C-alpha cells in the first residue's frame, strides 16, 4: 500500500533583479543568479540548489542506512558537480538543452566498517535517495497556470 506525502515549496520572484524567495515549511531561501547572468549574486541559483539537494539527500540517506546496518560514519561528505551549457537558457532556441548535461557525485566516507560493508551501504543509499531517484528516472510535471490581467 502506497503512502504518498505532499511536499510543497512556494517561490516568488522579488522586485530586485533576478532574486527569488522560496518558502518551504517555516524556512525561507533566497535564490539569485551570479552577476554574469544578470543577478546580484545574493544567493545560489536554482541549479546549484538542485545539486545541493542531491548531495544533502545522499548524506541524510547515508545516515539512515548506516544506522540500519549499524555502520559508524565518522565522516560522510558528498561533492556534486554538474555541467550546464548556459546557451540553452540564454538562447532558448532548442539547439542546446537548458538543463544539466551530466551530474558527477563524489562521496567521501570515513568509517571503521570493512570496505565491503561500506560499498554495500553506498549501493543502498543510491537506491533509496529520493532526490537521486527523481533526477535519474525523471518525474512527471503537471503545469497549471493562473493568469491575471490588469
pLDDT tens for residues 103-113?
A: 999 999 999 99
Residue recorded with cell 543509499: 125
Number of other CB atoms surrounding residue 69 within 10 Å:
13
Q: Is 149 a domain residue?
A: no
In which domain, by residue range, is 91 found? 46-137
State residue 87's pLDDT score: 87
Q: What's the whole-model pTM score?
A: 0.92
Confidence of residue 25 (pLDDT cuts 50, 70, 90): very high
Q: Is 101 a domain residue?
A: yes
* Residue 145, helix vs strand vs coil: coil
Same domain flag for 38 and 89: no
Same domain flag for 64 and 28: no
* Residue 12, helix vs strand vs coil: strand
Q: What is the mean pLDDT of residues 42-62?
A: 97
pLDDT tens for residues 26-41?
A: 999 999 999 988 899 9
Amino acid at each position: 500500500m502506497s503512502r504518498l506525502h505532499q511536499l510543497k515549496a512556494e517561490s516568488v520572484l522579488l522586485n530586485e533583479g533576478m532574486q527569488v524567495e522560496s518558502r518551504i515549511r517555516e524556512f525561507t531561501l533566497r535564490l539569485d543568479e551570479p552577476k554574469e547572468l544578470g543577478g546580484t549574486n545574493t544567493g545560489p541559483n536554482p541549479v546549484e540548489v538542485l545539486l545541493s539537494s542531491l548531495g544533502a539527500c545522499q548524506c541524510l540517506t547515508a545516515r539512515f542506512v548506516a544506522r540500519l546496518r549499524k555502520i559508524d560514519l565518522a565522516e560522510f561528505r558528498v561533492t556534486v558537480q554538474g555541467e550546464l551549457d548556459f546557451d540553452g537558457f540564454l538562447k532558448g532556441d532548442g539547439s542546446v538543452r537548458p538543463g544539466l548535461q551530466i551530474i558527477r557525485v563524489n562521496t567521501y566516507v570515513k568509517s571503521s566498517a570493512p570496505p565491503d560493508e561500506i560499498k554495500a551501504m553506498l549501493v543502498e543509499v543510491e537506491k533509496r535517495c529520493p532526490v537521486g531517484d527523481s533526477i535519474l528516472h525523471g518525474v512527471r510535471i503537471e503545469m497549471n497556470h493562473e493568469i491575471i490581467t490588469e
